[in-house]
Amino acid sequence: MNKSTCFTTRDTRLRCSDGRLLAATWHEPAGPARAVAVVSPATAVARGFYRGFAEWLAGRGYAVLSYDYRGIGDSRAQALQQEEARLRDWAQLDMGAALHAAQRRRLFEQQNQGEALGLLWIGHSFGGNAVGMTPGYERADALLGVAAQAADWRFWSGLDKFKAWLFFHTMLPIASHVFGHAPGWLLGSRAQGLPKGAALEWAAWGRRRGFMFTDPSLQGHLAYDRFEGPVHLWNITDDHVFGPAPAVDELARQFSAAQVQRHTLDPQAVGLHQIGHFAMFRRELGARLWPLLLAPVEASTPLLRARLS
């Protein structure tokens, strides 16, 4: 256990409904938890990348759960070429296990403290765009998506549109077949290798008009229209590769019953030259970025506003 004046960390395991175990970490506040949060990673990104952000949240009074998807980070149980995980498994099984653990923690704290606690789901990229496939995700009080999007290549523009088309039509599927997985260098500076099944499903969704939202095999599992609470979705103006604004807008439209707020961050507005897809979670930029990220969703969520003010 790593100790700090503001938080402690505790490694644990999450058991999915199919029996698979996932590596996870609780980041604990120094005193009683005032809210619970789940940090759900981007595609092929391990939970350690979000450690600084999770610790900062713990310093604000959140009990924060971070975790690795099956086949990623410490949740890889075998050689990557042998991992059979699909993206839908991450959403339905892995995110489901994280949500279940967070809900159990919330109920425990509410019983001990004698008052209600909020549950905040924070998703980076895939961790935000796939939450609507997670069973029971409506139990969260608010959703915060950072560069979470509908990754249909048609939402890109100019040269980036051609690059997105090339990525989903050729680079991602070909590399997956050649190497038996999608190499991390193909996915971004913070990404690890991606299991073949997940990579091919991502490529198939990226080629579809409407991304995964029009996949016939998912129609019984998409529940974006069931969430009625606050949904805050952010795009960063220089994130041209993974999170252009139109793709984030399309995800926002899926939450048809929710209280959706769209936010756009320009790096220059916070004195930075670039942020891109990943730098929002860099520890050294946290003082500039994380209060901007959390303030609107806390202000619009009564259980967070009451306990975290």
Q: Report yes or no: 251 and 150 within 8 Å, Cβ to Cβ.
A: yes
DSSP tally for the chain: helices H, then strands E: 10, 10
Q: Residue 282 corresponds to which tokens in the numbers above?
A: 């860099």
Q: How many domains does the chain have?
A: 1
- Report pLDDT for 1: 42
Task: For residues 186 and 193, give the distance between their C-alpha atoms in angstroms, rounded to a whole number.
Answer: 9
204 occurs within a structural domain: no
pLDDT digit of tens for each residue in the chain (309 aa)? Answer: 444 457 899 999 999 999 999 999 999 999 999 999 999 999 999 999 999 999 999 999 999 999 999 999 999 999 999 999 999 999 999 999 999 999 999 999 999 999 999 999 999 999 999 999 999 999 999 999 999 999 999 999 999 999 999 999 999 999 999 999 999 999 988 999 999 999 999 999 999 999 999 999 999 999 999 999 999 999 999 999 999 999 999 999 999 999 999 999 999 999 999 999 999 999 999 999 999 999 999 999 999 988 776
Torsion of Cα atoms, 206 then 210 then 214 then 218, to 10°:
50
State whether the Cα torsion 112-117-122-127 is positive or negative.
positive
186 occurs within a structural domain: no
pTM for this entry = 0.96
228 occurs within a structural domain: yes
197 occurs within a structural domain: no
- Report pLDDT for 91: 98
283 occurs within a structural domain: yes
201 occurs within a structural domain: no
132 occurs within a structural domain: yes
At 249, the amino acid letter reads D
- What is the span of the domain harbouring residue 78? 7-151+220-308
CATH number at residue 234: 3.40.50.1820
Q: Residue 298 corresponds to which tokens in the numbers above?
A: 């806390």
46 occurs within a structural domain: yes
Taking residue 162's Cβ as centre, other Cβ atoms within 10 Å add up to 12
